[in-house]
Amino acid sequence: MLSYTIRRVLTLIPMLLIISFLIFLGMELMPGDAVSYMVSPEQLANMSPEKMQEMREALGLTQPFLVRYFNWLFGLFRGDFGYSLTNGQPIVDILKAKLPATFELSFYALLISTILGNVLGILSAVKRGGKSDNVLTVLGMVGVSIPEFFFGLVMLLIFAINLKWLPIGGRTMPEYTSYWQQFRHVIMPASVLGISMTAGVMRYSRSSMLDAMNKDFLKTARSKGLPKWRIYLLHGFRVALTPVVVLIGFRLPMLIGGSVVIEQIFQWPGIGDAFVAAVRGSNYPLVMMIALLSVTMVLLASLLVDILTALIDPRVRLE
């Protein structure tokens, strides 16, 4: 297991190096002086040209390209992500402030889509060819066809504007004293994001459940006289679980992509919101850093999925 993990981590490193290199290349090619996003703007404002040149040398900007790349890379490990172009805030601080909100949203969305998607997918598989299966299949296709933002807008209109059950947007208010009050804000964005991802999960868990149900060992389980729930859940779903876990990893890119749009609609102060703002304001350092961060998260998630798969499926573990 350990050697498997190590091997898997080792395949990740070249990928991250390539991508970080591309990101660095992108930043180098961007208009503007590199000093401007490596030094805080206050310092930059009262700096003479000579000082600037000194600064460049001190920062290593006159060094060859590759050396600069590695300096930058090691800076990342020390938490030195550079500065935002628009307000001079260190990017680390921006990320620190925005990440919790995105994690909160993603957590609930993942929870909703996992539970809903698997329950409906199993139901669909068990009733395959039946009326409920057909209805769920069509619903699933409707689900992937409605743009997330449109779905979000309709929800917003119904539950926040007309019924006034839930707040229109934001994440929290200064006067809140408990998480419960704040929780009302996350319900809608998380539901919209979660439900729009459910269709994919459902489709996947249906097919992997069907796959498991065609296996010989399911017939063995039936031949033992086990009750239906035991056959479907402990034998069928337990085996179908492996691909379902894989799907959690696959959903991460969707989650990040979805949160970009959803956070806009519900004014959720997360990374996606910051990213859109940065793109609009041509705030390249922030754009690049968030892109790098999201790639790293996706790659780490796929790593985690592989390890989890190995834990669930004893066949992989022992290879």
Partner 1 sequence: MNQEYIPKGRAKTLARKMDKIDAASQKPAKKKWIQNRMLRKMLSNRLSVIGLVIFLVILFSSIFASILSPYPPGQISLKDTLQPPSMKHLFGTDRLGRDVLSRVMHGGQVSILVGLGSALGAALVGVLLGAYFGYKGGWMDSLVMRISEVFMSFPQIILVLLLVSITGQSLANLLIIFILTGWGSVYRMTRAKMLSIREEEYVQALRAFGLSDFVICFKHMLPNAIGPIAVNITLSTAMFILQETSLSFLGLGVPVQIATWGNIINVANNLSILQSNWWIWLPVGLVISLFVLSINFIGDGLRDSTDPTQMG
Partner 2 sequence: MDKDIVLEVKNLSVSFYTDQRKNTAIRDVSFTARRGKTLCVVGESGCGKSVSASAIMRLLPELSRIESGEINYYGRGEPIRMDKLDPDGELIRQIRGGDIAMIFQDPMTALNPVYTIGYQISENLLEHNKGMKKSEALDKSVQLLKAMGIPMPEQRVNEYPHQFSGGMRQRAMIAMAMACNPQLLLADEPTTALDVTVQAQIFELMADLKTNYNAAVILITHDMGVVTELADNVSVMYMGYVVEEGSVDEVLRTPAHPYTKALLSSIPVLGRGRNQDLQPIRGATPDPFHRPPGCQFEPRCDYAAPQCTQAMPEREHVDGEHYVRCFRYKEVLKNE
Binding site for partner 2 (CB under 8 A): 129, 215-217, 219-228, 235, 238-239, 312-315, 318
Query: What is the nearest approach in angstroms of partner 1 to the Cβ of residue 130?
Result: 6
Which residue's CB is nearer to partner 2, number 83 or number 237? 237
Establish if 61 lies at the interface with partner 1 (CB under 8 A).
Answer: no
Which of partner 2, partner 1, none interacts with 150 (beta carbon under 5 to 8 A by kind)? Answer: partner 1
Distance (Å, whole) CA 220 – CA 226: 10
Which residue's CB is nearer to partner 2, number 14 or number 314? 314
Establish if 102 lies at the interface with partner 1 (CB under 8 A).
Answer: no
In the set 111, 282, 311, 317, which binds partner 1 (CB under 8 A)? Answer: 282
**Could you say which residues in the range 211-270 bind partner 1, by CB under 8 A?**
252-254, 256-257, 260-261, 264
Question: Are 268 and 189 spatial neighbours (Cβ–Cβ below 8 Å)?
Answer: yes
DSSP 99-142: HHHHHHHHHHHHHHHHHHHHHHHHHHHHTTTSHHHHHHHHHHHH
The single residue listed with the structure tokens 């805080």 is 40
Amino acid occupying residue 130:
G
Other CB atoms within a 10 A radius of the CB of residue 113 amount to 28
Which of partner 1, partner 2, none interacts with 46 (beta carbon under 5 to 8 A by kind)? Answer: none
DSSP state of 56: H
Instruction: Mark 1-34 as b/e (b = at least 16 C-beta within 10 Å).
Output: eeeeeeeeeeeeeeeeeeebeebbeebeeeeeeb
Query: What is the nearest approach in angstroms of partner 2 to the Cβ of residue 221?
Result: 7
- Strands (DSSP E) contained in 171-276 are none
Which of partner 2, partner 1, none interacts with 213 (beta carbon under 5 to 8 A by kind)? Answer: none
Two structure tokens written together for 172: 């929290």
Positions that interact with partner 1 (CB under 8 A): 15, 18-19, 22, 26, 30, 127, 129-131, 138, 141-142, 144-150, 153-154, 156-157, 161, 168, 252-254, 256-257, 260-261, 264, 275-276, 278-280, 282, 284, 287-288, 290-291, 294-295, 298-299
